[in-house]
Structure 1
Amino acid sequence: MIDPFGADALRAATLLAWTSSPTRLREDAATESDLVRGGYRDRVLTELAQNAADAAARAGVLGRLDVRLDVDGLHVANVGAPLDESGVQAMSALRVSGKTEGVGRFGVGFTAVLAIGDEVEVRSVSGSVAFSASRTRAELDRAGLAAPESGIPVLRLVWPTDAVPAPGFDTEVVIAPRDGVDLPAVVAAMREEAVDLLLELPALHSIRIGDAEFARTGTDLGRGLTEVAVGDRVWWQFTAPSARWLVPVSDGSVRPVDGDVLRAPTRTDEELSLPALVVASADLQPDRRRIMPGAAIAHLADGYAEFVAALPESERTALVPLPGFASGAVDEQLRESVLRELVDHAWLPGVDGECLRPRDAAVLPGLTTELAELLTDAVPGLVAPDLSGQSDARALAAVGVHRIGLARLAELLAGQDRAPSWWGRLYEALTPLVVDALAVEELAAIPVPLADGRTVTGPRTVVLGEGLGGAGVDWVRLVHPSAAHPLLARLGATAVHALDVLSDPALRDRIDALWDGDGDADALADAVLPLVAGVSTGPLPGWLGGLPLPDRFGELQAADELLLPDAPLADVLVSESPFGTVADRIVDVHGAEALRALGVGWGFAVLRAELPTGPDHDLDDESDWWATLSDDPEVLVAVRDLDLVDPDRWPTALTLLASDPETAALLADRAGYTAWWLRRHARVDAVPLSSLRSPDDPTFEGLLDPLDHPDADAVSGALAADRIESTATAEALLDGLADANRAPAPAVIARTHRLLAEATASGVLDLEALSPPARVRTISGVVVDAADAMVLDRPWLASVIPADRLVVGDLTSAGALADLLDVPLAAEAVHGEVLGVGRVGDWGREPDAVLASVTSGRPLPAGAVVLHDDLTVRLSGARDGDVAVPWWVDDSGRTHVDVRRIDAGVAGAG
């Protein structure tokens, strides 16, 4: 029989290796069994298709794969480069591959065939070989070798055969099914895989399975896109530098994928939540199911933005990964890389026809074609109307496209030098977008051209038709006739309400002029305050608080720098507070409510800033608080003027803060500026709030005093938390632990030590700012010199060290606690030598140990144990002498147990 691949020599060498080392036989059997049952389960067609694709690529032909059932089993045939000697060696080695290119380089994928049967032939035009469980077993018998328990290693022994592949094919794999294998079901499952394999393996052109044939066609669509079709299913494909991307298409529209896996190039077990299929080369584990730990995959996203840019404009956002939970670490990394790629590259269509980078783009929801034509050179980076609908909003937000809305549009239009007729056409184009009251509010600052040639901000400050006057309100404006439009009426131009007039920028100019000595302050106050009293909806502009009003001494001060008579805030401020008191006559004429609405103080004022970008709001220590944030807040809401509170009046100030719902809400926000500032600066009875606890929080009971205040629950966000957030809190706790006059419970002591250790290990604490305490608290509650204490880090030492010397937290973080306290670890201070020999046993063979595990519910330790009738340890170091102990672990790691206290050994060692 012809043996072109040296099969006989390979077989003889393997048998010699097995005979010389039966262990090698068992290893080969176990390896093959693991591969069949593990990594290569259910991958028969995938592995054979990969081999077929490689063969076609090497031969430079269109790959064809044919799967059919015959009387002798399953036949899988392909065209391409035939079997060669390195291929035979790879199949029979289980460890190497003859491939230098393509997929399947690990030489073990062929084991997938054993899931169907263990009598396998590989027929090729260059020669054929066979693998056989029965023949291998016979060889083992002749060699006097026992079959391994894990089974016969079928693919290690290879025989030459004279069989030839089916006509028209270069190689054919024939698998005789073992008993119990349902070949029709196997073939049916393969039909489900065929389409995916044609997408994954471009070297394969067609796959026939039984009477069903699957063929792939491709059509160049331009811009790097290829339309790939298999039967009636269609995908658009884009080949990027490191990956191929495909998205299903139906009726000319993309249909984003709803969950898939990484294909590298065939399907792995790495689940993905990307909207497109990705086929790429990646470093995989030998079974090709998982990415190798640490493998680089971020580069696979390179070129994804070009893929998206190649799609029709209206389809592009469909391929943006939407926010959601990642399916795993690989998915998370790929999603982040894809999003970075999309954020940093141009693919969004702009109204000017150019592609935009999302970071440079802005979207106006509901943008129409008519409005886009007007805004082309007025709003930079504006996204085209096709992607400005609600269905695209989440995708655009995911890549950071700035959503400008109508309010932002009004800001961007400020300063535009346009003819009045252009503004009239703009109002017409904006009309479909003004669908509710919110839209009306957002356009409150849109520019309006006046008849006198000026352009002013805000329709609410203009009138259509006749001008307005009287009662000192003389700052209204008339719209130019060419710009007059019904939209302005909807925005408030024809119905002048108090808030409209008070929001006019001209009024702000009047106020500013008063501070420059230009104008009559009393007259303006008499005009403004009645309007303020008539405002029933909407907040007043913040700058209106700058209206000059006389104080009790007749001096002018800004309204928001004045307090009402008898204002409770005055009772808690320092004597040198900059606040004055508004003149009584102003209160008598205009009323307290109007003055409070204007900004004259009663209680604490609240600052609110939308989308702040830095610590520039004149808040005390604002820069230090800002440094604690990971991101800029969307809205900054903070109590003002906390630094003006008299240090001796904080109990009253806390009551005032808690009594106002607006400020009370800020006290509960631990991360907010208000609670942060109070923890840092506010003191009650000279004790910082950060060193006081909520009365209903037992975390540090006995170490930190509870806040003795009727509103303690309301200010909980300004008190110590149930964890250690700062070095100051840690210092207070260390002082409490060292204070012999305090009597915390042992559970509190241990919990506090654990939290201190965790804060130390996580870097929360600044150890350079903390001095090691001279005295520490032991688990018994006794305060001792640090030099006389030790930190418990081994459980068996607890039985030999007096509780009055033992500092206990958590064993896993004992080292961090020892560093913080500058106290030695118990294992460093105490050493023990087990006396006596004892009897070596096994936990699982000791009835008393098993009984103790069952009755206590604790896990039974594994491995060996040394049993002693009387377990005694000779101690040295911090304590000397012989001590009877229930259990011990010696320096070599062996566990010793007193047979009378085996339950203690189970509890400790388990």
Structure 2
Amino acid sequence: MTDPFDTAALREGTLLAWRGSPTRLREDVAAEADLVRAGYRDRVLTELAQNAADAAVAAGVPGKLRVQLLADGLSIANTGAPLDREGVHALVALRASGKSTGVGRFGVGFTSVLAVSDDIELRSSSGSLAFSSERTRIELASAGLEVPAAGAPVLRMAWATDERPPGGFDSEVVLRLRPDVNVDVLLARFAAEAVDLLLELPALESIEIDGARLRRTERDLGGGLTEVTIGPNTWWQYVTKPARWLVPVVDGRVQPVNGDVLRAPTRSDEEVSIPALLIADVPMQPDRRRILPGTGLTDLALGYADFVAALPSDQRPDLVPLPGFARSEVDAVLREALLRELRTQSWVPAAGADAGDLAPARATIVSELTPELAEVLADVVPDLVDPQLCGSRHASALAAVDVHRIGLARIAELLSGHDREPLWWHALYTALEPIVVDAIAVEELAAVPVPLADGRTVTGPRTAVTGTDLGHALGDAGSALDWVRLVHPDAAHPLLNRLGAERATAGDLLSDPALKARIEEIDYDDPAAATELATVVLALVGLAGPEARPAWLGELPLPDADGELVPADELLLPGAPLADVLVEESPFGTVDSDLVARVGEESLRALGVGWGFPVLWAELPTGPEHDLDDEEAWWNTLDDDPETLVAVRDLDLVDPACWPRALTLLADNPETAATLTDRDGYTAWWLRRHARIDGRPLAVLRAPADDTFAGLLDVFDHPAAPALASALAPAVVDDTELAGVLLDRLADPTRTVTPDVVTRTHRLLGAAAATHVLDLDELVLPTRVRSLAGTVADPEDALVLDRAHLGGVIPPERIVLGAFDTAAALADLLDLPLASTAIDAEILGDGEVSSWDREPGAVLACAALGMPLPSGSVVVHDDLVVRTRGAVEGDVAVPWWVDDERRTHLRRWRVEEAP
């Protein structure tokens, strides 16, 4: 048997040492036991893998490690440099390592095998060794040394063997397991450690555990990143001068480590909570579980920011240590060092393509920043962080490295003073809109600048109004719209309304009291300023409906034909037909023809420049304050204030001789014609009261189709009569003046009036008197009245018929007939007696009591009149004669009568009287 490492001499030397110092044997036993029970417990595969990694590095070959179950034990084979003399000496010395580089090379770490075996072989292509607790006992006995009670040491004595490692491997450790070792549990633990070992020991290319092989592959990703793959798992690795950093990756995204241990390079007992795996060459205690006291760790963080910067920009904050309690003193030092490194280096991606990276101290975050907002704010808010990092997901990480965060209020403040095109502001509002999600955001943006149509930029939307259509329609004229803060049309955006800007129509702008004040302040000696204001007002007037134009807009001064400024409502358009019907001293002038050519007739007419009669619109008027002729008298005719006052102006300026043409103008213009339909409205009222045709008020002229007062009122013979119906006499008596005219006409013997018209007129007069429409104290009664016969009668002879049967004893020339139910009111109106009070009557002779249904004459009369046959009794006379006294005296034969007891008397019907 060959013994290339002279193991016999080594054994002899060990025995000699034990003989010379009996306590040394016990110390070696105790030391070996302590290493197994404490420092190297559960580290069998780790320590052997470290040795395999060192062997691979020494040989310059890819490291391979294989664990295989044998019939009589467990084989752990590896490639790399074979066993050498220094390694053997390190093994048996127990306290020393023969390594010059690498992690460990057969030093005290090999002691870990004793946790599972007391019979070990170390086979190498350069020579093999055997270690055995039993053989050591025999050797001790042969040397006359007493075996300690704790047992014999295993690794202090080695024997040469002729066994060699299997093919394809340079070294092999064979462990004959003790009976108490569960092989399945041991192999499962080895399999669980394999992935970590391949990460920690890059010299190892593969580890095979009982036939299951794991292989480590690497791929350069550029920028210092390396993709490490072991089985189905992937990491991204970054190497700095003092350390290696790895982070798990799933589907291309890093998965921060929740908790781990310092790896130096294999797993220690120093717990850490940093988000990446740290593998570093750190001075450790002999068992490699704890760092040596006083070891500096801060330099391990150097270059960590470069690692973070090498990651995709949206994943970088994932590797920032988040606030929390440190898991150990080592963890506290590392966390602080990493945060310090990240705070001072440039790794935070800036917004914008090719914008580079920022140091946290320079970087600025806008919560929920979007790419669109970042682009707009690029030169307003310096050093903006990439929008991908501005969500709540990364807020804690970026706060941990002191990245400055600003809110919407600060953005509004930074925007102050910037002079930008309106389209730029529109893009800003569009970009801001998605992040204005609640009332707090609205309040924070209360001071955001807003560009106006007049060229100014103001602070805050709450004092502004929007109207995109208005702005575009105004065009360049919008620069003069300075009485209201109208947002420039190119900047108008729905966000401004959410922030407090009001929506405005052309009518809103025209109704603004500030405009009224501007008009009142116009200097009539400054035509340029007046023209500038007029230009924008005219543009708005063209957009607003007539109901939205306040009457005072007519006060806006415009140039007349002589270049003088004159209020618009005192001007007429060239060729205006209204000029032909006005009195010579009319205050109207003619508007400048150049202005007409520039802005058009329509806008000027809408403003109040006359063509036909101007129309006044007033919403919710509260009194006669609109400068209309006789307005107060009209207002007194109303029961309630109208919701809208629509009235034709300047009717009082019509030349009395021109009323026929003036009325044609009113009827032909749809806007003025519409005012004529309301009989109670100002226009129709004024025309009835003041307009005259041939000296006659319209109020006493009737429409051609209205025969109510035929013969009493003259016909209004005019083409516009149908449109002017409300300005003519009505088909009822609705005021005292009309009643007076009718009474006068009834008393006029030159007028031929039918009994039907006379009766209808008296009926309408009686109804008006009964309902108190008329003021009887204002009526001057004529000296004559019109009778039922159509004749003119002396009031001394006339009687108001209030009971129908009395008509049979009064001559028609004395009867004034209206309606029986209002006869008393008519008598009061005409100052005439009622027939029932002026005449007493008695029936001569007795009749026969009968019933209505038995009297042929009664049945025939009711059928002829289309009346229902009365029920009850009736008194029938062969000849019915009544004797009257009072206003009428004599005996009169009558066909029927009603006596004072309200009984009806009839003259018997004779056959010879049949038709």
Scaled to the shorter chain, the TM-score interval is 0.5 to 0.7
* 2:654 corresponds to: none
* 2:142 corresponds to: 142
Contact 1:96 1:105 in 2 (8 A): no
* 2:436 corresponds to: 434
Contact 1:95 1:106 in 2 (8 A): no
Q: Deviations over 1:231-261 (max 9, x none)?
A: 1111111111211111111111111112111
* 2:423 corresponds to: 421
* 2:217 corresponds to: 217
> What is the 5 A alignment of 1:610-759?
none
Contact 1:106 1:286 in 2 (8 A): no
Structure 1 residue 495: Cα displacement = 9.1
State the distance in 2 between where 1:36 and 1:461 align: 82
> What is the 5 A alignment of 1:523-562?
none
Q: Deviations over 1:831-886 (max 9, x none)?
A: xxxxxxxxxxxxxxxxxxxxxxxxxxxxxxxxxxxxxxxxxxxxxxxxxxxxxxxx
* 2:302 corresponds to: 302
State the distance in 2 between where 1:413 and 1:269 align: 54
Residue 401 of structure 2: which of 399, 402, 406 is its match? 399
Are residue 370 (structure 1) and residue 372 (structure 2) matched? Answer: yes
| Residues 495 and 202 (structure 1), Cα distance of their counterparts in 2 relative to 1, 3 Å cut | same
Are residue 84 (structure 1) and residue 84 (structure 2) matched? Answer: yes
* 1:360 corresponds to: 362
* 1:412 corresponds to: 414
State the distance in 1 between where 2:287 and 2:127 align: 28
Contact 2:248 2:257 in 1 (8 A): yes
State the distance in 2 between where 1:209 and 1:450 align: 77
| Residues 475 and 102 (structure 1), Cα distance of their counterparts in 2 relative to 1, 3 Å cut | farther
* 2:247 corresponds to: 247
Structure 1 residue 173: Cα displacement = 0.5
* 1:347 corresponds to: 347
State the distance in 1 between where 2:495 and 2:394 align: 27
Structure 1 residue 414: Cα displacement = 2.2
Contact 1:33 1:151 in 2 (8 A): no
* 1:9 corresponds to: 9
* 2:582 corresponds to: none
Structure 1 residue 450: Cα displacement = 3.4
> What is the 5 A alignment of 1:802-881?
none
Q: Partner letter of residue 326 of structure 2?
A: A
Q: Partner letter of residue 487 of structure 1?
A: L
Q: Deviations over 1:247-306 (max 9, x none)?
A: 111111111112111111111111111111111111111100111111111111111111
| Residues 44 and 475 (structure 1), Cα distance of their counterparts in 2 relative to 1, 3 Å cut | farther
Which runs of 5 or more residues in structure 2 are unaligned? 472-481, 505-915
Structure 1 residue 381: Cα displacement = 1.1
Q: Which deviates further from its counterpart, 475-484 or 106-115?
A: 475-484
* 1:195 corresponds to: 195
State the distance in 2 between where 1:334 and 1:476 align: 62
Please report the RMSD computed on the Cα atoms of aligned residues, expressed in angstroms. 2.0
State the distance in 2 between where 1:105 and 1:158 align: 17
Structure 1 residue 332: Cα displacement = 1.2
Contact 1:39 1:287 in 2 (8 A): yes
The DSSP-based 3-state class of the residue aligned with 1:366 is coil
The DSSP-based 3-state class of the residue aligned with 2:402 is coil
Contact 2:51 2:106 in 1 (8 A): no
* 2:232 corresponds to: 232
State the distance in 1 between where 2:419 and 2:149 align: 89
Q: Partner letter of residue 481 of structure 1?
A: P
Structure 1 residue 476: Cα displacement = 8.3
State the distance in 2 between where 1:47 and 1:414 align: 67
State the distance in 2 between where 1:394 and 1:87 align: 51
The DSSP-based 3-state class of the residue aligned with 2:215 is strand
Q: Deviations over 1:303-333 (max 9, x none)?
A: 1111111111121111111111111111111
Contact 2:462 2:499 in 1 (8 A): yes
The percentage of aligned residue pairs carrying the same residue is 64
Contact 2:261 2:268 in 1 (8 A): yes
Contact 2:466 2:503 in 1 (8 A): no
| Residues 59 and 486 (structure 1), Cα distance of their counterparts in 2 relative to 1, 3 Å cut | same
Q: Deviations over 1:420-464 (max 9, x none)?
A: 221111011100110001111111222222344343333334444
* 2:336 corresponds to: 336
Are residue 314 (structure 1) and residue 314 (structure 2) matched? Answer: yes
* 2:817 corresponds to: none
* 1:484 corresponds to: 492
Q: Partner letter of residue 462 of structure 2?
A: R
* 1:755 corresponds to: none
Structure 1 residue 482: Cα displacement = 2.7
Structure 1 residue 475: Cα displacement = 11
Q: Partner letter of residue 413 of structure 2?
A: E
Contact 1:271 1:328 in 2 (8 A): yes
Contact 2:136 2:157 in 1 (8 A): yes
* 1:444 corresponds to: 446
* 2:51 corresponds to: 51
Contact 2:67 2:208 in 1 (8 A): yes
Contact 1:322 1:395 in 2 (8 A): yes
State the distance in 2 between where 1:253 and 1:111 align: 41
Q: Deviations over 1:31-57 (max 9, x none)?
A: 111100001000000000000000000
The DSSP-based 3-state class of the residue aligned with 1:19 is helix
Matched pairs, number: 490
> What is the 5 A alignment of 1:137-176?
137-176=137-176
Q: Deviations over 1:98-147 (max 9, x none)?
A: 11111127921000000011111111011111111011111222233222
| Residues 475 and 355 (structure 1), Cα distance of their counterparts in 2 relative to 1, 3 Å cut | farther
Contact 2:91 2:106 in 1 (8 A): no
| Residues 262 and 483 (structure 1), Cα distance of their counterparts in 2 relative to 1, 3 Å cut | same
State the distance in 2 between where 1:298 and 1:181 align: 42
The DSSP-based 3-state class of the residue aligned with 1:164 is coil
Q: Partner letter of residue 74 of structure 2?
A: L
The DSSP-based 3-state class of the residue aligned with 1:292 is coil
Are residue 270 (structure 1) and residue 267 (structure 2) matched? Answer: no
* 1:288 corresponds to: 288
> What is the 5 A alignment of 1:370-389?
370-389=372-391
Q: Partner letter of residue 121 of structure 2?
A: E
The DSSP-based 3-state class of the residue aligned with 2:117 is coil
| Residues 148 and 459 (structure 1), Cα distance of their counterparts in 2 relative to 1, 3 Å cut | farther
Structure 1 residue 478: Cα displacement = 4.5
State the distance in 2 between where 1:149 and 1:423 align: 91
* 1:93 corresponds to: 93
Q: Partner letter of residue 138 of structure 2?
A: A
State the distance in 1 between where 2:209 and 2:381 align: 58
State the distance in 2 between where 1:71 and 1:455 align: 91
Structure 1 residue 199: Cα displacement = 0.7
Contact 1:374 1:426 in 2 (8 A): yes
State the distance in 2 between where 1:122 and 1:290 align: 28
| Residues 63 and 455 (structure 1), Cα distance of their counterparts in 2 relative to 1, 3 Å cut | same
State the distance in 1 between where 2:456 and 2:100 align: 76
Are residue 129 (structure 1) and residue 129 (structure 2) matched? Answer: yes
State the distance in 2 between where 1:5 and 1:217 align: 37
State the distance in 2 between where 1:307 and 1:445 align: 42
State the distance in 1 between where 2:152 and 2:404 align: 65
The DSSP-based 3-state class of the residue aligned with 1:234 is strand
Structure 1 residue 197: Cα displacement = 0.6
Structure 1 residue 74: Cα displacement = 0.8
